[in-house]
Amino acid sequence: MTAWKTFVRSKIFWPVMALVALVAANTIKTTHFLNIRVQDGHLFGALIDILRNSSPLLLVALGMTLVIATRGIDLSVGAVVAISGAVACSFIASSPNPGAVVTVLTAVAIAVLLSLVLGAWNGFLVSVVGIQPIIATLVLMTAGRGIAMLITGGQITTINSPAYKQIGSGFWLGVPLAVLIAGGVFAIVATLTRRTALGMLIESVGINPLASRLAGVQSRTIIWTVYALAGVFAGIAGLMISSNVMAADANNAGLFIELDAILAVVIGGTSLAGGKFSLSGTLVGVLVIQTLTLTVTILGIPPAVTPLFKAIVVIAVCLMQSPVVRTKLGSRRRVPVMAPVPAEVVS
Amino acid sequence: MTTPTPVVEMRGISIEFPGVKALQEVDFTLHPGEIHALMGENGAGKSTLIKALTGVYAIDSGRIVIDGVERMFADPAASQAAGISTVYQEVNVCGNLTVAENIMLGREPRWGGAIDWRATRSAAAMHLAALNLDIDPRSSLSAHSLAIQQLVAICRAMVVDARVLILDEPTSSLDAGEVQQLFTVMRGLRDDGVAILFVSHFLEQVYEVSDRITVLRNGQLLGEYATSELPRLDLVSKMIGKSLAVLEELEEAPKRSVAALASTVPYLQAIGLGRRGAVEAFDLDLYAGEVVGIAGLLGSGRTELARLLSGADRADVGQVRMGDTLVHLRTPRAALARKIAYSSEDRKSEGVVGDLTVRENIMLGLQAERGWTRRIPAKRADEIVRQYVAALDIRPPNPDMPARNLSGGNQQKVLLARWLATAPKLLVLDEPTRGIDVGTKAEIQRLVAELAQKGMSVVFISSELEEVLRVSHRIAVMRDHQKIAEIVNDDDVGIDDIVELIASGGRDS
Amino acid sequence: MTAQDVRPPTGPVVPGPVRRRRPDVSRVLHAVRVDRRFLPVVGTIVVLLLMFTIGGARYENFLSGRVVSNLFINNSFLIVLAVGMTFVIITGGIDLSVGAVVALSGISAASLLQSGLPAFVVIPLMILIGSALGLVVGVMVQVFEIQPFIATLAVMFLARGLCYVISLSSIPITDPTIVWLSSTRIPIGDTWSITPSGIIALAGVAAAFFVLHYTRFGRTVYAIGGGESSAILMGLPVARTKVLVYVISGTCGGIGGFLFTVFSRSGYSLTGVGMELDAIAAVVIGGTLLTGGSGFVIGSVLGVLVLGLIQTIITFQGTLSSWWTKIFIGVLLLIFVVLQRAIAARRR
C-alpha cells in the first residue's frame, strides 16, 4: 500500500483536509493570508497568529491526549489555567518589584509548581483512590474556579510587568515565544512517548488495564504521571493566557478550554475510549479549531454567527470521522455488522 | 424413516473480515428434534456461522432458509422473532439487574400498560423451576457465579417457544453436575421437537449428547456425520488435519521420572498462605524442573491459589519463602521481579492487549520490567519476537498484526511468549488450553514438559483432569477453597483417584 | 496408589465450605430490609438530613416551610434537567448540551412571544426544540457511533450558536400566561407553598419514575447500562432506546428551559452555562453511577435538593462570598464519590 493510500485511510485524513480547505478559503478571500513578513526582526502574518493563538490550546491538548490515552479525561484543566494565572498575577501584583525578571520567574515557578500539585491531586484520586476520571476531575473543575476567585479576591487582578508580557507576546529569534514554548513541549512529549517505552505502556494501560497490571506495568505511576503532566501543561497555558491580557480573570480564563482540548484530541484521531493516541493528530486538531476561529472573521461572517459556523464545522468533522462514515467512504474492507464481542465476566 | 424437512438450511455461506476469510461456502442443515454438534478447532468458523444465522453478522454471499422460506436477519431481534434462541459463549446477561428481570427482560407481563412485577417474578420462578434451578429470582445477578449466570441465560433462551436453540460453548464454565443438568434439559427439549445446535470443545460431551456432528476447519465445511458412526480419532484427526499416528504420539507424551528432579531444595515455599474469601491457608512447595498440577472442580479455588502464588492478589495470612528469604508478593510486578510469571485464565480481559501488535504484546512483560525509560532496541525486540513466533508456531506469523485479530489459540501462544520472554523460574499457567483446539493443546502440553525438563518450575491448572495427569509430576487437589491433598503422579494414578479424593474431601477412606 | 504416596493434607482442615462474612453495612441494610442497590440513595438522604439539622441549629427560620418550598421552587428547572440526565447516565452516556438547550429554548420562546405568538403555541414549541436537539444527539450517537461526550459537546456548540444568532441581548417576557405562571403561588397548609413550575417538575419526576420502573423501555435503559452488547444479543430494541434516551434528555432540557424562562421572565443567550455540570453533579450525588446501569430519579431529585441547600446555607450565612458555593459543591462531590468507591471496594 502506497504512502498516499495509507494517509487517505488514516484517521488524520479528514482533519488535514479540513485544515487545507480552511486555509484555501482564507487565501481566496484574502490573498495575503499565506504571507509571512519580517518586521523588526520578528515574523508576522496570519499563519503566525494562528500558531501563536494555538499555543495555549496545544499545551492543554497535549496533556489531554495522554490522559485520554489512559482511558481517562481531565475536565479540570480550565480551572487550572485560571488558578495558574491567578497565582502568578497575584504574586507579581503584590511584589515590590513587579517588572523584575526575578519576580516574574518566581511567579512562573510558583504557578507551575502549583499546577503540578493540582495535576498530581487528580492523578492521586484516579490511580490510588480509584475514582472515575470524569468525576475526579469534575471535583477540581467545580471547586477550582472558586479557588481561583479566592486567590484573586474576586477581582480581576491586573499587573504591569513587561517581563511577564513576554510569555504571551514576546519573540525570540524572530519566532513568537509562545510558539517556541508550545513547540518545545510538543517535541519533549513526542520524544518522551516514542523514543522511550512510555508511549507503548500508556497505550497498554489504556487498552487493557488488567492485563497491563499482570504484565508488571506500573499502571499507577503512569496514570499519576499523565495527570500531573496535564496539570503542568495547563499551568503553562494559563501563564500564556494571563500574560496576553496582563490580568488574571478567575471566571473567564480558560473557559471551555477543556472542551476545545478534548475536541482537538478527538478530531486528531485519538479515541475517547483510550489506547492508541496520536500527538500529531492532536496538533492538527488544534490547528483546525484555531484556523476555524480566524476563518470566520476573515470570511466576514458576523460575530453572532461565529459560534454557529464553528459548531457546524465541528459536527461535520465528527461525522466524517465516525467509524460508520469512514468505512462507507474509505476502506475497501467490510466491517461486520457488529464487531466480535469480547468475553465479559459480569461481576 | 424419512428425515423431516430441515428447520434451518444454510447454503454456500461466505463471510470475510479484514485479513481473514472466516467462512467459505459453508453448508449447514439442522433438523427438528435433534441435537446437532458443531465442531472445529479455533478459528474454524463455528462462532461466525452462528452469528451469521442469528443476524449478528451480515453474510457476504449464500442463503439462509428457515422452514423452507429464505430469510435474511438484520439483527438478533429478527432471528429471535423467527424462533431462533441463542445463548452465546460470552454470557449475555445484565449483572446490574435481578435474576427475574434478566429472564423476562423485554417480555415482562404487563397490566394496563405498566409492568406487572408480581407476574414477572412468578413467571421467572416458573421458568427456573422448569429447569430445576434453585435460584432466587429476586437476587441480583452479579451476586452469582459465572456458572449460575450462564444457566440464567439459558433459562432466558427457553422462555420463548424457540424452534431452534443454539448453545455456543455453554459448558466451558459449568461443573460436572451442572453439565448433566443442562443435558437433561436439552434432551427433554429435543424430544419435544426443538432443534438444538450445540458447539463444544469437549469431545466426551459431544459424544454423550449429540445426534449429528458437523465439522468445520479453517472456515470450510469438512463434513456432516451421525455421531454414532464417527469414531473419536476420526473426528479429532479431521479437526486438526494431522495424521492419526502423529496424534497418538502427541497423546503419549512421556511421563517424566520423579527421581530426575534437579534439586531437593524448593524454589518457592508457600507456608500457611491464604486469603479471606478466596482460599484457605495452604502449604505448597514448588521445585525447579517440576510441574505441579492443580486439580479440582470449578470454583474450588484453583485460580485464587495461583493468583496468590504470583502476586496477582495479596495474601491475608501466611508467608512465601524463596530460598531462605521471606518475600512479599504484593503485586504482579513484585512477583515478576522474583521471576514468577502468571498467565491468567481469562486471556481476553487479563491477557491480550487487543489493539497492540503481536510484537508489542510479546515484549510487554520484558519492557514493563525494564521500566519506561529504557526502551528495548528495535533490533533486539524483532529478534526475540521472531524466535518465539517460530518456536510456538504463532499464526499468522505477522508481528505487526493487532493481537485481537488472532484466534484464541494463537493469542494464548502470544501470551506464553510474553511470559517466557521474561525468563521466569516459576511459570503459573491458569487454564492455558481452555477454548483451544486439540492440536494446539498438545503443543502447549509438550512445551510445558520441555520447560520443566530445562529446569523451570511450572504450576499447571486445568479443568480437564486428563490433561493435568498427562503433564504433572505432582498434583495438588482442591475442593471448596481448600487444598485437600497432594499426590505424586505415578503411573498408576488415574482420573478416578483424583475424583475420589475430591469426593471424599481428602480424608483417608 | 499406596497409602505412603498420598501426602496428608498439610493445610489446616476447616470444616465446611468457606463462608464469606457479610460486610456489616449489608447486615444493617438487611435488618432494615433495604436492598443494597438503594445504598447510595440512602447516603444522599443522610446528607440531606444532616444539612437540614446543621442549618436548623445554626440559623433561625431555617427549618421553615418557606425555606423548603423555595428549595423546590427555585430549583424546579434543575430537577427536570437532572431527571433527563439520569436516563442518559444510566445507559452509560452523558449529555453536555442541556445547558445550551435551556438557553436556546428560552431565547427562542422570548423572541417568539415578543413577535406576538400566543403562549399556548410557544410553550410546546420550545419543548420541541429540546426534543429535536435530543434527536440530533441520538442519531449522532447511535447511527454514527460518535461518543456521547463528543456528540453532546458538538450539539452544545450548535445550540449556543443558534442562540447567538437569535439575539445577543436579553429579551424580557411580558406575556400574561408566563407572568401568571411565574408569580402564582399555591399555598399548601400554613407555611408551605408551591408554584406551577414546581408541580410540573414533580409531575415530570413521577412520570420518569413510572417509565423507568414500570415499562419495558425503562428496563431496557437499565439493561443497556448493564452491558450494551449483552442487551443487543438479548434481542432488546437497543438502537431505538438509545436514541429515545437522548430525546428524553433534550425534551427535559426544553421543559427545563420553559421552567427557567418562567422563573426569570426573560430569554438570554448566555444562561445555562455550566448548568449541565450542575445536573451531572446532582445525579452523582443522588447515587447514580457514571458507569451506568444503576441509579434512581428520586436520588437525582435529592441531589438537586442537596445542591440547593448548599446555596441556601451560604445565603443564610451571609459572610461567605458566592464562590464558596462552588468550593463546597466540589468538596461534597468528592466526599460522595469517595464513599461510593469505598462501598464498592468493600463489596468486592
Q: Is the peptide bond before B396 cis (omega within 30 degrees of 0)?
A: yes
pLDDT band of residue B172 (cuts 50, 70, 90) is: low
Cα gap B120→B102, rounded to integer Å: 10
Q: Retrieve residue B16's grid coordinates.
A: 470475510
Does the structure show a pLDDT above 80 at A341? no
For chain A, give every domain's residue range: 39-300
* Fold classified for A39-300: ABC transporter involved in vitamin B12 uptake, BtuC (1.10.3470)
Do B93 and B111 have their domain in common? yes
Other C-beta atoms closer than 10 Å to the C-beta of B352 total 27
Cα gap A74→A67, rounded to integer Å: 7
Cα gap B473→B262, rounded to integer Å: 13
For B337, the closest chain A residue by CA position comes to A216
Of C1, C11, C227, the CB nearest to B482: C11
Q: Which of B204, B298, B260 is nearest to B455 (CA)?
A: B260
Does the structure show a pLDDT above 80 at C295? yes
pLDDT band of residue C224 (cuts 50, 70, 90) is: very high
Beta bridge partners of B61: B14
Of A150, A308, A324, the CB nearest to C145: A324
* Single residue among B217, B234, B250 that ends a domain in this structure: B250
Q: Helix, strand or coil for residue A173? A: coil
For B362, the closest chain A residue by CA position comes to A215
In tens, the pLDDT along B418-429 reads 999 999 999 999
Do B314 and B368 have their domain in common? no
Do B56 and B122 have their domain in common? yes
Does the structure show a pLDDT above 90 at B212? yes
At position B98, the amino acid (one-letter code) is T
Q: Given phi > 0 = left and psi -120 to 50 = alpha, else beta, which region is C303?
A: alpha
Contact B365 A212 (CB under 8 A): no
Between the CA atoms of C109, C112, C115 and C120, what dihedral angle is there, to the nearest 10 degrees?
-90
Does the structure show a pLDDT above 80 at B450? yes
Chains that touch B (3 or more CB pairs under 8 A): A, C
ipTM of predicted complex: 0.80
**Domains in chain C: ranges and CATH:** 39-49+64-347 (1.10.3470)
Q: Which of B441, B448, B348 is nearest to B41 (CA)?
A: B441
Do B282 and B404 have their domain in common? no
Q: Which residues have CB under 8 Å from B387's CB, separation 6+? A: none
Other C-beta atoms closer than 10 Å to the C-beta of A67 total 32
Of B18, B349, B371, the CB nearest to A345: B349
Task: Look up the CATH number of the domain holding residue B487.
Answer: 3.40.50.300
Please name the residue ranges forming H helices in chain C: 24-31, 39-58, 65-74, 76-90, 98-114, 119-142, 148-166, 176-183, 196-214, 216-226, 228-233, 238-264, 275-285, 297-317, 323-347
Does the structure show a pLDDT above 50 at A335? no
Q: Helix, strand or coil for residue B318? A: strand
The nearest CA of chain C is from the CA of B229 a distance in Å of: 35
Say what the pLDDT of residue B236 is: 67
Do B16 and B69 have their domain in common? yes
Q: Retrieve residue C167's grid coordinates.
A: 439575539
Q: What is the pTM of this model?
A: 0.78
Mean pLDDT of the A65-88 span = 94
For C238, the closest chain B residue by CA position comes to B77
At position B397, the amino acid (one-letter code) is P
Query: Which residues of C, range 198-237, sit inside 8 Å of B by Cβ?
Result: 210, 213-216, 219-220, 222-223, 225-227, 229-237
Chains that touch C (3 or more CB pairs under 8 A): A, B
Do B366 and B508 have their domain in common? no
Say what the pLDDT of residue B239 is: 67
pLDDT band of residue C22 (cuts 50, 70, 90) is: very low
Name which of B393-402, C134-143, C209-218 the model is least confident about.
Answer: B393-402
Q: B95 — contact with chain A (CB < 8 Å)?
A: yes
Say what the pLDDT of residue B507 is: 53
Decide if A233 contacts A116 (C-beta within 8 A).
no
Question: CB-hemisphere CA count at 13 Å for B230?
Answer: 25
Do B81 and B106 have their domain in common? yes
CA angle C107, C109, C113 (to 5 degrees): 120
Q: Hey, which of A114-118, A317-321, B19-23, B168-172 has the most confident mean pLDDT? A: A114-118
Q: Which of C63, C92, C153 is nearest to C283 (CA)?
A: C92
Set of chain B residues whose Cβ sits within 8 Å of the Cβ of C242 = none
Say what the pLDDT of residue C316 is: 81
Say what the pLDDT of residue C35 is: 61
Of A138, A272, A311, the CB nearest to C147: A272
Cα gap C156→B85, rounded to integer Å: 42
The nearest CA of chain A is from the CA of B17 a distance in Å of: 6
For A339, the closest chain B residue by CA position comes to B57
Domain range spanning residue B221?
A: 8-250
Q: Retrieve residue B228's grid coordinates.
A: 454414532
* Single residue among B211, B232, B250 that ends a domain in this structure: B250
Set of chain A residues whose Cβ sits within 8 Å of the Cβ of C149 = 73, 262, 272
Give the single-character DSSP code of B145.
-
The nearest CA of chain A is from the CA of C186 a distance in Å of: 35
Does the structure show a pLDDT above 60 at C300? yes
Does B467 map to a domain?
yes
In tens, the pLDDT along A215-247 reads 999 989 999 999 999 999 999 999 999 988 888
Do B161 and B288 have their domain in common? no
Say what the pLDDT of residue B408 is: 79
pLDDT band of residue A130 (cuts 50, 70, 90) is: confident
Q: Retrieve residue A296's grid coordinates.
A: 470566520
Beta strands in chain A (DSSP E): 36-39, 42-45, 157-158, 171-172, 175-176, 247-248
Mean pLDDT of the B193-215 span = 87
Could you write out the DSSP letters of every residue in B174-234?
Answer: --HHHHHHHHHHHHHHHHTT-EEEEE-S-HHHHHHH-SEEEEEETTEEEEEEEGGGS-HHH
In tens, the pLDDT along B293-316 reads 998 866 678 888 999 999 999 999
pLDDT band of residue C90 (cuts 50, 70, 90) is: very high
Number of domains present in the structure of chain B: 3
Say what the pLDDT of residue B504 is: 67
Cα gap A343→C142, rounded to integer Å: 23
Q: Retrieve residue C90's grid coordinates.
A: 444510566
Does the structure show a pLDDT above 60 at C34? no
Beta bridge partners of C186: C194
* Single residue among B250, B265, B282 that ends a domain in this structure: B250
